[in-house]
Amino acid sequence: MKKYLFLTGAGISAESGIRTFRDSGGLWEDHKVEDVASPLGFRKDPQKVWKFYKERYHQSLSVEPNPAHYALKKLEDHIGDRFHLITQNVDGLHIRAGSNRVLEMHGSLNRCFCSNCKARYQMQEIDLQADIPICNKCGSQLRPDIVWFGEIPYFLYEIEEHLKKCDVFVVIGTSGTVYPAAGFVMTAKLFGAHTIAINLDRPDNFSFIDEFHQGKSGELIPVYIERIMESG
């Protein structure tokens, strides 16, 4: 019985109406990356950083998972622990679609933590009216639970184990340019997985892809999932 591992990027969420953070000019939604997506940016201007992420959080709540998210959930229900999902996205749409075996390697807009005592909170638990939300345990500044540039992504050990053990590795909606995620397909292929990419454009790591399907994930993923389920 085959084990399936999926990696999703900004492209799958774009079809739900989530703007991709980084544009061709290297800006994150009209902001310099170092201003809103780095530990230094947070130390320099935490109010600005919080304003940015509160807007992203509210935007994520205003959209819904799309057919690709729900198709992946359907496959998870069908094959159980032979399914695992890694996402580079921080919008929480996979979880809202009902997926459970999800590794949010870049964190989540739905969470934050204390910059001092590391106490963790759900966004809905804190005072988002405050310019800089404060930890109710130690009084220090909270920060969004987002992996910023220069920080180590979450779950790298678990991801490596899944990459070594999967039979099929499917990359959805990602350009193949941001590491370490861009290197996952190489690892999976090295350990014998069949590699598939589904994206609007050919990814940069195309040389490690066995199958490439060009198009919208919301259209292609449900068809692909049905084919897997029919084959058992």
CATH number at residue 89: 3.40.50.1220
pLDDT value for 20: 61
Whether residues 170 and 96 fall in one domain: yes
- Residue by residue, DSSP assigns 170-229 as EEES--S-STTGGGHHHHHHHTT-EEEEEESS--TTGGG-SEEEES-HHHHHHHHHHHHH
Give yes or no: residues 69 and 184 share one domain. yes
Shared domain check, 13 and 25: no
**CATH number, domain with residue 29:** 3.30.1600.10
Cα 119 to Cα 218: distance, rounded to the nearest angstrom: 37
What was the pLDDT predicted at 29?
57
State the pLDDT at residue 188.
97
Residue 228 and residue 129 share a domain: no
Same domain for 142 and 213, yes or no, is no
Report, as residue numbers or ranges, the catalytic residues: 106
CA 94 – CA 112 distance, rounded (Å): 18
- Return d(Cα 185, Cα 171) in angstroms, integer: 8
- Residue 48: both structure tokens together: 């600005």
Inter-residue contact 94 to 77 (CB < 8 Å): no
Per-residue pLDDT of 59-69, as tens digits, reads 999 999 999 99
pLDDT tens column, 76-89: 999 999 999 999 99
pLDDT digit string, tens, across residues 134-156: 999 999 999 999 999 889 999 99
| pLDDT < 70 stretches in the chain | 20-30, 232
Domain final residue pick, 95, 129, 146:
146
Question: Are residues 75 and 135 both part of a single domain?
Answer: no
226 and 158 within one domain: yes
Query: How many domains does the chain contain in total?
Result: 2
> Do residue 181 and residue 213 come from a single domain?
yes
For the stretch 38-53, pLDDT in tens is 999 999 999 999 999 9
pLDDT of residue 21: 57
Give the residue ranges of DSSP H helices in 93-196.
93-96, 156-165, 184-190
* 131 and 157 assigned to the same domain: no
- The range of the structural domain enclosing residue 49 comes to 19-62+111-146
Same domain, 24 and 117: yes
Are residues 115 and 207 both part of a single domain?
A: no
Residues 10 and 84 in one domain: yes
